[in-house]
Chain A
Amino acid sequence: MEHTSGLERALRGVALALIVVFFLFPILWIFLMSFQTNEEILRIPPSPFFTPTLGNYAALISGKLTTVSGTLDIAFMRNLWNSVLLSTASVAIALVLGVPAAYAFARFKFRLGEDIAFTLLSFRFAPPLLVLLPLSLYFQQLGLTDTYAGLIWVYQLIALPLILWIVRGYFEDISPDIEHAYRVAGHSWWSTFTRIAVPLAGPGIAAAGLLAFIFCWNNFVFALILASADKQPVTVGALAFVTASGIQYGQIAAAIVLSVTPTLALALYAQRYLVEGLSLGAVKG
């Protein structure tokens, strides 16, 4: 047992409260903003008391942005759908390609293996803008500009190295004898991979997939340059709220709440598996 004095506990409580406020207050404030009109948000002094309105959400969902200078069409729901589609498809493809590759890098020693793995990681070193310029030229030649396929391909630069390197570590942590035992029992290489290696690295795969999803979701520049309005994700679509007649804070807040929700839900869902996976750790004899 740990013995702590009352003062120590109080100080710890204060420190924890400060950290929670520091990280969660902006999110709470944005959540509150999303139920306010622009006038209420911009009044001085700001006040936490207001009459809640669903107008911001209504505007986003209907796609009609009403400003003092008239009504604008915005494609927010379309953007949100694009984000879901792009991120999900990118992570799915990255998992299909990355998990077997990670297994190969973890288990087999082959010529240039380390070099290939490092090259894949180095994709993360290059500033995206540096890659984008030549890439946009290639994409025009290949006819991939402004296509989902093109974007999903480019998103592999984000998702694949992440999944490869995280999952590889998890595979390396599994005792090879566990896989050997399964094969000696008479199972093929493939069923050993799917029934032993993948389930045991499950928490790692979930963590890597979640992280890759968040990185894809938050990406801005790739879609900004390589896609036009109807293929753009929310990160780029949010630019539409900066209008000629001012910035629509209420709608932006509502858009942020809506666009954070899927990643948050996914994180909360995956968390169960992450914890479950960690308690499975009794691998050693």
Chain B
Amino acid sequence: MPQLAIRDLRKSFKDAVVLDGVTLDVEPGEIVCVFGPSGAGKTVLLRLVAGVETCDSGVVALAGRDVTEAPPETRGVGMAFQNFALFPHMSAFDNIASPLTARRAAPATIKTKVEKIAALLKIGHVLEHAPRELSNGQKQRTALARALVADPKVLLLDDPLRNVDAKLRYEMRLELPSLLKASGATALYVTQDYKEAMALGDRIAVLIDGRFVQVATPGAIYREPASIGVARLFGDPTVNLIPVEPVIRPEGLTVHIAGCIVPLSRRYEHAAGRACMLGVRPEAILVDESPMADGFPVELEAVTPLNEKTLLLLRANDGRELLASEAGEDAAPRRHGVAHARFDPDALLLFDAASGERIPPKA
């Protein structure tokens, strides 16, 4: 039985439909990242699960119990808000202790539990401080501690790393998975950062315009995105999209790109003759100074070395820009000018141009 079950949840504010029939099952102990562009309805979904907002229709069930109409205090979930939402007139200790006082725990138990979670989150030394005396990072940890302290079965995290600086975000991205696994809670984690979603989620639920367009493991979403929209959201730099129309030739399935013929896997034969979009991840473009089999000439216009990879801006003969990336900094020294590019045939994605949905290859 799923720990958290969401069935066909709908919510509108006035005329604006925010959630348009959302369904999701989260298994016990699983971390599901709800990822999507801003305004997709991620926060509203979390608030509906927490019970601080009421849905128009649909069902929310926790451990098999229908809580759709239940007030938030009876649901027993832990939640960390995006803006922390600490109680400004209480010390960090009392903030963290509030779920325990609500459960009428003994003062000694409260003290032990709060100190334990505070030590885990490295805020043991600021427990007596008021929220206004805490740094942003400490506030964020206090909010997390408050969500975790009562060992909730379901944990709702609303973009908790959004309001903290880059260094801390990176640190927390490393710490959070083990912290969440240690707590054993089922977590719904909202984020706008695809890297965060990939790093933290057992599965990622991609929410676009109030609907889940894909719910899958991070690897599956990257390798087999359900649509052009999903493919664009994951990856930095974003996927290259080229309009193509596959044709069957004697030598196999091919597409025309910039006046050259580029081969495509035979497993896409059922897409022949359809208007398609070819999705090419930057790392699936191989660039060399000498011509390659199945390659095509490009102009290498810019080289941007980052620490872990180098970005190459290519221009094909028809003026189309392509972004390629290579692992490592300057694996091979690059000069601007004439070069040749080739696509890794196994890493290509093919989408239907009209619907934007991915065309899966035949087995």
Which of the residues B75, B85, B89, B132 comes within 8 Å of A181, measured between beta carbons? B85
Contact B102 A180 (CB under 8 A): no
Contact A189 B71 (CB under 8 A): yes
By a CB distance below 8 angstroms, the chain B residues around A186 are 73, 76, 99, 102-103, 150
By a CB distance below 8 angstroms, the chain B residues around A280 are 88-89, 132
Contact B102 A181 (CB under 8 A): no
Produce 1/0 per residue, B302-328, CB < 8 A to A: 000000000000000000000000000
Docked Cα-Cα span, A281 to B131, in Å, equals: 11
Residue A196 is within 8 A (CB to CB) of chain B in the complex: yes
Assuming the contacts A184-B73, A187-B73, A282-B88, asked whether A175 and B103 have C-beta atoms less than 8 A apart, the reply is: no
Task: Using C-beta atoms within 8 Å of the partner chain, give the interface range for chain B.
Answer: 20 to 34
Docked Cα-Cα span, A186 to B163, in Å, equals: 25
Contact A180 B72 (CB under 8 A): yes
By a CB distance below 8 angstroms, the chain B residues around A282 are 88, 131-132
Produce 1/0 per residue, B43-86, CB < 8 A to A: 00001001110000000000000000001110111110101111
Assuming the contacts A177-B83, A189-B71, A282-B132, asked whether A184 and B77 have C-beta atoms less than 8 A apart, the reply is: yes
Docked Cα-Cα span, A189 to B74, in Å, equals: 11
Which of the residues B51, B84, B89, B103 comes within 8 Å of A184, measured between beta carbons? B51
Residue A185 is within 8 A (CB to CB) of chain B in the complex: yes
Residue B98 is within 8 A (CB to CB) of chain A in the complex: yes
Contact A200 B89 (CB under 8 A): yes
By a CB distance below 8 angstroms, the chain B residues around A187 are 73, 98, 102
By a CB distance below 8 angstroms, the chain B residues around A124 are none
Q: How far is the CB of A203 from chain B (nearest CB, A)?
A: 11
Contact A180 B73 (CB under 8 A): no
Docked Cα-Cα span, A185 to B99, in Å, equals: 4
By a CB distance below 8 angstroms, the chain B residues around A183 are 51-52, 71-73
By a CB distance below 8 angstroms, the chain A residues around B163 are 285
Residue B141 is within 8 A (CB to CB) of chain A in the complex: no
Task: Point out residues on B near A: beta carbons under 8 Å.
Answer: 47, 50-52, 71-73, 75-79, 81, 83-89, 98-99, 102-103, 131-132, 136, 139, 146, 150, 163
Q: Could you tell me which residues of chain A, from 156 to 199, have a CB within 8 Å of some CB in chain B?
A: 175, 177-178, 180-189, 196, 199
Contact A185 B88 (CB under 8 A): no
Assuming the contacts A184-B50, A185-B146, A200-B89, asked whether A177 and B81 have C-beta atoms less than 8 A apart, the reply is: yes
Residue A142 is within 8 A (CB to CB) of chain B in the complex: no
Q: How far is the CB of B108 from chain A (nearest CB, A)?
A: 19
Assuming the contacts A185-B98, A285-B136, A285-B163, asked whether A178 and B88 have C-beta atoms less than 8 A apart, the reply is: yes
Q: How far is the CB of B46 from chain A (nearest CB, A)?
A: 10
Contact A182 B98 (CB under 8 A): yes
Produce 1/0 per residue, A195-217, CB < 8 A to B: 01001100000000000000000
By a CB distance below 8 angstroms, the chain A residues around B84 are 285
Contact B132 A184 (CB under 8 A): no
By a CB distance below 8 angstroms, the chain B residues around A272 are none
- A-side interface residues, number (CB < 8 Å): 22
Which of the residues A180, A184, A189, A283 comes within 8 Å of B88, measured between beta carbons? A283
Contact A199 B89 (CB under 8 A): yes
By a CB distance below 8 angstroms, the chain A residues around B72 are 180, 183-184
A178-B88, A182-B98, A184-B73 known; 11 new pairs, CB 8 Å cut-off, are A177-B85, A178-B86, A178-B87, A180-B85, A181-B81, A186-B76, A186-B99, A186-B150, A187-B73, A281-B88, A285-B85
Docked Cα-Cα span, A285 to B78, in Å, equals: 19
- Residue among A185, A188, A196, A283 with most chain B CB within 10 A: A185
Contact A181 B103 (CB under 8 A): no
> Top 5 nearest A-B pairs by Cβ distance?
A186-B102, A282-B132, A177-B85, A181-B85, A185-B99
By a CB distance below 8 angstroms, the chain A residues around B88 are 178, 200, 280-283
Contact A184 B83 (CB under 8 A): no
Docked Cα-Cα span, A283 to B71, in Å, equals: 25
Which of the residues A175, A189, A196, A200 comes within 8 Å of B83, measured between beta carbons? A175
Q: How far is the CB of B168 from chain A (nearest CB, A)?
A: 13
15 contacts between A and B (CB under 8 A): A175-B85, A178-B87, A180-B85, A181-B85, A181-B146, A182-B98, A184-B73, A184-B75, A185-B102, A186-B99, A199-B89, A200-B88, A282-B131, A285-B86, A285-B139
Residue A284 is within 8 A (CB to CB) of chain B in the complex: yes
Q: How far is the CB of B69 from chain A (nearest CB, A)?
A: 15
By a CB distance below 8 angstroms, the chain A residues around B102 are 185-187
- Residue among B51, B76, B79, B103 with most chain A CB within 10 A: B79
